Amino acid sequence: MTILRVIGIDPGLARMGYGVLEVSGNHLQAIDYGCIETFPEQTTPERLNILFQTLVLVISRHHPDIMAAEELFFYRNTTTAFAVGQARGVAILAGTQSGMQVVGYTPMQVKQAVTGYGKADKQQVQEMVRVLLGLRETPQPDDTADALAVAITHAYNGNLSEFAGVAKVGGSTALDKAVQGLDWGRGASAGSVRSVRSVRPVRSVRSVRPVRPLSYPAGVKPKESKPEK
């Protein structure tokens, strides 16, 4: 059986989430996930350099076969849109320079693949990520869970015959029950590189490869400051 390794990316200048999954048939295993953070007092080139160099380190460690990056959606704030676009470009560059194919998925495609509902809110998506990967806790921050959701989306699209009906409501599987347990009501709630200093090990996943703490790229020093939203 072919084993595919996918890295999912949730792009952002202040926070870029990443998640590496190993896909074997209909089995998903989280290998590594985290969030690269930068801070507003750093210049934009410095922040992009941190994102690029750190992502290259993650890629060189896990050797994913393909990168799945979330597509940009409509932003009212053009400054935010430009910043996210620059960060996404850096991620794509890191992937292509590593020889990977890079694919993109819209937020609606991600929600549809992970929950079976294209208008699901963040909490519903994050809960399904936890269930699908067999994690005890939802990966934090949100950017990390979102990156894993993008990776799961590609796993589904690349293995449609294996995953057909997995997220369908009404069956008897544990996943079906989890979907049924979600609140689908109208009122459903919707610098330094923090995770590079201590990449969160994956708990409750079988045969997880040990992850060594990443080192800072040359010349990059952490700045203890609260990251922008």
CA distance 215 to 193: 10
Q: Residue 26 has which token pair?
A: 């209909």
Catalytic residue among 22, 37, 143, 146: 143
Closest among 35, 62, 39 to 212, alpha carbons compared: 62
Contact 7, 67 (CB under 8 A): yes
Q: Is 35 helix (H, G, I), strand (E, B) or coil?
A: strand
Residue 127: active-site member: no
- Residue 95 sits at φ, ψ, to 5 deg, of -70, -45
Catalytic residue among 10, 22, 32, 37: 10
Residue 121: active-site member: no
Catalytic residue among 32, 70, 127, 146: 70
Beta strand 3-10 pairing with 15-24: antiparallel
Contact 31, 92 (CB under 8 A): no
Residue 143: active-site member: yes
Residues labelled as active-site residues: 10, 70, 143
